[in-house]
Amino acid sequence: MGQKEKVLKALDEMNIEYKVITHQAVTTIEEMDELGIFTDGEVCKNLFLRNANGKIHYLVCCLKDKKVDLVELRGQIGSSRLSFGSDERLMKHLGLTQGAVSPFGIINNEDHQVEIVLDKDIMKTESLVGFHPNDNTAFVWLKAEDLIRFIKHYGNDYCLVNI
């Protein structure tokens, strides 16, 4: 079973309503914009980060137009210096490759070692929020509160921050 199918099956099993669209492979917000993917709600971008000694990993999710200040963020989450996690760490902890990063990756994080950091504005949006289903040829739209249900179901820690 592929990554996308695994995510959609989990959403179905949790009775979470969603809408899925398929498209050509994209790796950037700009490429998604060119395809017109943004019409169904708020697209979110995702950053896979690690702390200074590499023992703690974070998946930061925010609305697509936000700029993430890593110094400000580390103060909010109580972390040491933050940097981007390598492709190897991304694969090891979330089973994902660059371009397919999403909070749905926790489905592959059996040891629950990746903390999810959500921008509070995601929770304030009245429209649907969108993420890749661990596959950059599709996009899943769902309610923000259902994303929280998904995270809680898989047992990863999460927090809300101001980005």
Give the tens place of pLDDT for each residue, 66-112: 999 999 999 999 999 999 999 999 999 999 988 889 999 999 998 89
Give domain 3-161's CATH number out of 2.40.50.140, 3.40.50.300, 3.20.20.10, 3.90.960.10: 3.90.960.10
pLDDT in the model for residue 37: 67
pLDDT in the model for residue 144: 96
Q: Is the pLDDT of residue 34 over 80?
A: no
β-partners of residue 50 are 57, 83
The whole-model pTM stands at 0.91
90: its two tokens: 């991304």
114: its two tokens: 């990746």
Question: Using H for helix, E for strand and C for coil, what is the string for the chain?
Answer: CCHHHHHHHHHHHCCCCCEEEECCCCCCHHHHHHHCHHHHEEEEEEEEEECCCCCCEEEEEEECCCCCCHHHHHHHHCCCCCEECCHHHHHHHHCCCCCCCCHHHHHHCCCCCEEEEEEHHHHHCCCEEEECCCCCCEEEEECHHHHHHHHHHHCCCEEEECC
Mean pLDDT of 136-142: 90
The fraction of the chain above a pLDDT of 70, given in percent, is 93
pLDDT in the model for residue 50: 96
Position 56, amino acid? I
Q: CA separation (Å) from 38 to 30, 52, 121, 142?
A: 11, 34, 17, 13
Q: Can you tell me which residue has the tokens 């790796």?
A: 27
Q: Is the pLDDT of residue 51 over 80?
A: yes
Position 41, amino acid? G
Give dist(CA 62, CA 60) in Å, integer: 7
- pLDDT tier for residue 43 given thresholds of 50, 70 and 90: confident
